[in-house]
Structure formats: structure tokens, C-alpha cells
Amino acid sequence: MSVTTEPIIAAPRTGRIDPKYLRSKGSSGSFEMLTWLFMRLSGVLLVVLIFVHLFSNLMVGDGINGIDFGFVAGKWADPFWQFWDLALLWLAMLHGTNGVRTIINDYAERDGVRFWLKMILYVATVVIIVLGTLVIFTFEPCLVDGAGNLLEASPAFCETR
Amino acid sequence: MSTVTEAAEPASKVDLGTQGGGSGEIQSFDVTLKVRRYLPETSEESYWDEWTVTMYGTDRVLDALHKVKWEIDGTLSFRRSCAHGICGSDAMRINGRNRLACKTLLKDLDLSKPILVEPIKGLPVEKDLIVDMDPFFQSYREIMPFLINKGPEPTKERLQSQEDRARYDDTTKCILCAACTSSCPVFWTDGQYFGPAAIVNAHRFIFDSRDDAGDLRLEVLNDKEGVWRCRTTFNCSEACPRGIQVTKAIAEVKQAVLNRTF
């Protein structure tokens, strides 16, 4: 009886996982957890911010008929509404951006497409947030024409200055 | 030897009541099966194949597939082992929903139209209804589906209170059929997501009071492709043939990751 060495047979399917399914071991830290949490918290805040915004604009006083340049200018003369609208702008933009980022991650099939879609998204977000913030804080309610006279649309409080 | 004559044993020790006349009373009907075929040795393209077979009210989709394979077309390929909803081999897409063929009664389906049978989605099809389950089991392995206990080896079983056992009872029911993972639209997109099944099996150990490696598993699932890719569409809960509240289990794991961090 001769001693034969057992032929080494690889286990079935060894190393045959479709590379498409292999996860890159990129350590993302807790970023995804933080964005998940942000979506929940900002969502709750946005419900309050948006409905108070809608109520104060559309229901109080003259309601929808009262909205004009002067109305907006008057609101932004008040630091309370400045920060209210600032919070609304930032939270809505970041909440929406993160939502679209998620959709891009889910639906873009090629890495290149995914990357560029996200770049466009981020650039658009930054531009809107920066512009919006600038407008809220540098808004000039009392516009004058070339001769230094107040424009007709100016809010009432400009007259007293 | 006893001389006492015993009363003859009845046919059944259970009172069966008045019974019907056997299989003659079971309704029979013609069923059209429309199966998504893929035969890589003959064609790159998959196609639909249709058969009409006479089946009975007690039959399941699996019985219809058997009838086709055994009596009409032997090339039809599918997996099944126990055929009784325990082994988890025959998960397939029946009329657009992930079901076990062995647990889906024909009489519960709309028989006026052909019954659509497709392989589960999101995994590479190997032949007909057989898919490559390796990516699925790879994710399962990564969450370490075994008891890890740092304490000394006990001399008898590890005791646990009934409350502690009940905490993860739901997720012990998993049979790894992949019906949940292959019903998940996030898994369909790129197959990178760990998938409901892996998270359910992680849940089974994370919430087991005897296990010490919950943190390790939470770390694995706090990945970009981990629990945070769940969009709570509830497809997995709907698909689970064992009735596991899969989406709830995933939510509990999310909560556990958060509690661990904050």
C-alpha cells in the first residue's frame, strides 16, 4: 500500500466573488452616521422654521397681499428674522444637498459620473448658501435713485431716517 | 405472555372527525408557469419559458416547478433542499415578490394569469433560477455571525434570563434565504450594501447578553455601506418568509450605533 499525497483541491468557488461586490475598505469614520442624524434633527427643526415662516408671511396682517419689497425689507431689518431666515437657508440647503447626495450615491452607476454629479451639487450648494447669507446680512432696504430720492417701493420706516 | 385481549388500536389516536374523501376532493386547476430562463451554455440572453401544468389545491409553486423539471423539461434549474421552508434554498421572485417557492401555495396566487417566476434580483444569475450567493454570504461572514465571549469557558451552558433571550428572539429566525437582501433597492444599485440579512444576523448577536463583541459588529456596520444605507422602504420586512421585522431590527442596530457614539 503506497502512501499517496492527497491532491489539493481548492474549495468550490474560492476567490470567485464578482469584484463588483467587493467593498473597498475605505474608512469613512462616522460621517454617514452624522449625516443620518443631521437629516433627522434638521428635519424636525425645518418643520418648525418653515411653518412659522409661512404663517408670518401668509396669515398674519394683510396675509399674502401684504408681501412686497417693503415687507421683506422690513423683516430683514429685524435681527430675529435675519437669523430665522439664515437658519432656514442653511438647514434647508444642507438637508436638501444631503438628500440629493444620497440619491446620487444610490443611482449613479459609474464612479466618474457619481463624482462629477456630486461636485456640481456641492458647488451649487456653496454658491447658494454664500449668496443667501450675504443677501440676508447686507440687504439695503432704503434704495435711492441717482438723485438721492427714495424709491417708491421702499418700506415706510425709510422716510423717518 | 398476556392473555388479556386488548382493544384494537384505532387507525389514529387523534380524533380526526368526519373526513373528506381524500385527494379526490382537492380542487385541481391548470396553472401557467412563466419562468425566466438563463442558459449560459447556449445563449447570453435570458428569455421567458412557459408551461401549463395541472396542479392541485394543496400544491405549492415548488411542486409546479418540480412537475415541469421531472415531467416536461429537465433542463429547468433551481435550488431547493428541504422543500419545507426551513433550509432557505428556494427563494425566488414570484409575481414580482420575493418568496420561498416551497411556502407559496398556488391557490393563493392569481391563476387567471401566468405565474411569473424569476431569480432573486441583485445577485449574478448562474443558471435559470440559480444565483451566485457568494456576495451575500461574504457580507454575512463579515459581521462575525458567531458567539464571541471574553470570559472563561463555562463548564455547562451559558445561562440567560427569559427577558434577555426574548430581546433578540425575532432575529434568530433567519434562514439566510436572501429574500430580504435581494428585495432591497439599495442592494440592487451596486451590491455594495451589507444588506438586511447581514444586519439581522448581526442584531442576533449584538443584543445577545452572552455576547461580548457587540462593539466590533457595530463598528463593522457603521460603515459607508452599513446600516446607514438603509432607506426604510420595508421591502425586506415584506419579503421575509419567516416574518422577521427586518426593518425594525435594522433601526435597532442604527440606534445601538448612535448610543455607542453619544
Q: What is the CATH number of the domain that holds B91?
A: 3.10.20.30
Q: How far is CA B111 from CA B46, B62, B71, in A?
A: 24, 15, 21
Q: Are residues B103 and B147 in the same domain?
A: no
Q: Which residue has the cell 419559458?
A: B49
| CB-CB under 8 Å, A35 with B223 | no
DSSP string, B10-29: PS-SS---S---GGGGS-EE
Give me the mean pLDDT over the A31-41 stretch: 95
Chain A residue numbers with beta carbons less than 8 Å from the beta carbon of B124 are 18
B28-37 and B130-131 strand pairing: unpaired
Q: Are residues B139 and B125 in the same domain?
A: no
Considering the domain boundaries, does residue B6 fall inside one? Answer: no
Q: Could you tell me the pLDDT band of residue A18, with boundaries at 50, 70 and 90?
A: confident
Q: Are residues B106 and B145 in the same domain?
A: no
Per-residue cell: A25: 475598505
Considering the domain boundaries, does residue B13 fall inside one? Answer: no
Q: How far is A75 from chain B (nearest CA, A)?
A: 38
Domains of chain A: 32-158 (1.20.1300.10)
Q: Could you tell me the pLDDT band of residue B10, with boundaries at 50, 70 and 90?
A: low
Domain that holds residue B54: 27-131
Least confident of A51-55, B10-14, B19-23, B203-207: B19-23
Per-residue cell: B185: 433597492
Three-state secondary structure of chain A: CCCCCCCCCCCCCCCCCCHHHCCCCCCCCCHHHHHHHHHHHHHHHHHHHHHHHHHHHHCCCCHHHHCCHHHHHHHHCCHHHHHHHHHHHHHHHHHHHHHHHHHHHHHCCCHHHHHHHHHHHHHHHHHHHHHHHHHHHHCCCCCECCCCCECCCCCHHHCCC
∠ CA B145-A34-B244, rounded to 5°:
35
Checking if the pLDDT of A88 tops 80, the result is: yes
* Contact by Cβ (8 Å): B64, B53: yes
Total structural domains within chain B: 2
Per-residue cell: B218: 457595530
Q: Are residues B142 and B248 in the same domain?
A: yes
- Higher model confidence: residue A16 or residue B219? B219
Give me the mean pLDDT over the B96-110 stretch: 96
Checking if the pLDDT of B13 tops 70, the result is: no
Q: Are residues B182 and B245 in the same domain?
A: yes
Chain B residue numbers with beta carbons less than 8 Å from the beta carbon of A35 are 228
Name which of A33, A40, A41 to mutate to probe chain B: the one with the most chain B Cβ atoms within 10 A of its Cβ.
A33
In the prediction, which pLDDT does A72 show?
Answer: 86
Checking if the pLDDT of B130 tops 80, the result is: yes
Chain B residue numbers with beta carbons less than 8 Å from the beta carbon of A13 are 132, 134
Q: Are residues B140 and B231 in the same domain?
A: yes
Q: Could you tell me the pLDDT band of residue A117, with boundaries at 50, 70 and 90?
A: very high
What is the distance between the alpha carbons of residues A70 and A151, in angstroms, rounded to a whole number? 11
Residue A65 touches chain B, beta carbons under 8 Å: no
Q: Could you tell me the pLDDT band of residue B50, with boundaries at 50, 70 and 90?
A: very high
In the prediction, which pLDDT does A11 show?
Answer: 66
Q: Could you tell me the pLDDT band of residue B34, with boundaries at 50, 70 and 90?
A: very high
Q: Are residues B117 and B143 in the same domain?
A: no
Checking if the pLDDT of B19 tops 90, the result is: no
The neighbour count for residue B260, using CB atoms within 10 Å, is 13
| CB-CB under 8 Å, A107 with B190 | no
Q: Which residues, other chains included, contact A46 with Cβ-Cβ below 8 Å and sequence gap of 6+?
A: A88, A91, A92, A95
pLDDT tens digits for B236-245? 999 999 999 9
Of B86, B181, B170, B93, give the one whose Cα is nearest residue B137.
B181
The neighbour count for residue A155, using CB atoms within 10 Å, is 19
Residue of B nearest to A99 (CA): B231
Considering the domain boundaries, does residue B207 fall inside one? Answer: yes
Q: Are residues B143 and B255 in the same domain?
A: yes
Checking if the pLDDT of A152 tops 80, the result is: no
In the prediction, which pLDDT does A60 show?
Answer: 84
Task: Indicate which CATH number applies to the domain containing B253.
Answer: 1.10.1060.10
Considering the domain boundaries, does residue B47 fall inside one? Answer: yes
* Contact by Cβ (8 Å): B230, B254: yes
Least confident of A83-87, A97-101, B142-146, B153-157: B153-157
Checking if the pLDDT of B232 tops 80, the result is: yes
Residue of B nearest to A105 (CA): B189
In the prediction, which pLDDT does A77 show?
Answer: 87
Residue B132 touches chain A, beta carbons under 8 Å: yes
What is the distance between the alpha carbons of residues B262 and B253, in angstroms, rounded to a whole number? 14
Per-residue cell: B244: 422577521
What is the distance between the alpha carbons of residues B247 and B181, in angstroms, rounded to a whole number? 11
Chain A residue numbers with beta carbons less than 8 Å from the beta carbon of B222 are 30, 32-33
pLDDT tens digits for B104-119? 999 999 999 999 999 9
Give me the mean pLDDT over the B159-164 stretch: 95
Considering the domain boundaries, does residue B10 fall inside one? Answer: no
pLDDT tens digits for B163-215? 999 999 999 999 999 999 999 999 999 899 999 999 999 999 999 999 999 99
Considering the domain boundaries, does residue B37 fall inside one? Answer: yes
pTM for the model:
0.84
Checking if the pLDDT of B1 tops 70, the result is: no
β partners of residue B94: B97, B117
Give me the mean pLDDT over the B34-60 stretch: 94
Q: Are residues B43 and B83 in the same domain?
A: yes
Q: Are residues B81 and B173 in the same domain?
A: no
Considering the domain boundaries, does residue B191 fall inside one? Answer: yes
Residue of B nearest to A30 (CA): B222
Least confident of A16-20, A74-78, A144-148, B20-24: B20-24
- Reading across the β-sheet that carries B91-94, which strands appear in turn? B47-56, B28-37, B115-118, B91-94, B97-100
Q: Are residues B140 and B118 in the same domain?
A: no
Q: Which residue has the cell 431569480?
A: B119
| CB-CB under 8 Å, A20 with B189 | no
Q: Are residues B53 and B89 in the same domain?
A: yes
Considering the domain boundaries, does residue B2 fall inside one? Answer: no
Checking if the pLDDT of A125 tops 90, the result is: yes
Name which of A20, A22, A23, A103 to mutate to probe chain B: the one with the most chain B Cβ atoms within 10 A of its Cβ.
A23
